[in-house]
Chains A and B, each alone.
Chain A
């Protein structure tokens, strides 16, 4: 069964607008971590934001925020004030298990975001 689902293969957004990239996850573990990575055309994986399952508040990092809805098992990424440089693939990932001790990540299939001038 898919553990991470990203239902939007591609998204378009106008420059300076906000955009939400969807991510739903499946786990029975009460302790887990959720991550978003950006992969530009150059290919590297850039860490954007992290949300722990026990965190009370939604994570924010600059223009990135994570809309964490635990009951719905969703962890959508919100990018505010989109820039042309935000055009890239975006991957949602999950790490299961307590204390973050050396667990591998499960990645979703990704969403390709294109920012239009």
Chain B
């Protein structure tokens, strides 16, 4: 049973470029969550999605950030016109609809030069 997959593991972008982070949930999991972790801090919730639906995006910055979880394929977290402050680790987690816990992927470490 493959765990939550995220790619790329490391992503370097220059200011103003776009970053696309991908997350494939565990088999049988229909819920995906994205979190951001700044250096030396805990994880902060960004967005919660089900297939083709955004359920809760209360943690997403109002501009430049978007997320989707299409019917087919991975969930995508998209950051447009990246700035240095976007440098962080971005974690994806997944769960089945009724879940005791969320299972995390290995994270994508975004560095903005």
Interchain CB contact under 8 A, B101 and A35: yes
Chain B's interface size range is 20 to 34
**B102 smallest CB distance to A (angstroms):** 6
Kindly list chain B residues whose C-beta atoms are within 8 Å of the C-beta of A108. 42
Interchain CB contact under 8 A, A105 and B106: no
Which chain A residue has the least Cβ–Cβ distance from B99? Answer: A100
Interchain CB contact under 8 A, B104 and A43: no
Interchain CB contact under 8 A, A43 and B42: no
Interchain CB contact under 8 A, A102 and B42: no
Interchain CB contact under 8 A, A101 and B106: no
Binds B, one of A14-22, A44-52, A64-72, A73-81: A44-52
Chain A's interface size range is 20 to 34
Residue of B41, B48, B55, B91 near A45 (CB, 8 A) is: B91
Given contacts A91-B42, A107-B44, contact A102 B100 (CB under 8 A): no
Known: A100-B99, A102-B97, A105-B93. 17 other contacts (CB 8 A): A33-B101, A43-B107, A44-B105, A44-B107, A45-B43, A45-B104, A47-B104, A50-B101, A91-B42, A101-B97, A102-B50, A104-B48, A104-B56, A104-B59, A105-B43, A105-B102, A108-B42
| A contact residues vs B (CB 8 Å cutoff) | 4, 33, 35, 37, 43-47, 50, 52, 91, 93, 99-102, 104-110
28 contacts between A and B (CB under 8 A): A33-B100, A35-B101, A43-B106, A43-B107, A43-B109, A44-B105, A47-B103, A47-B104, A50-B100, A50-B101, A91-B43, A93-B43, A100-B98, A101-B97, A102-B31, A102-B48, A102-B55, A102-B97, A104-B33, A104-B48, A104-B56, A104-B59, A105-B33, A105-B43, A106-B45, A108-B42, A109-B42, A110-B41
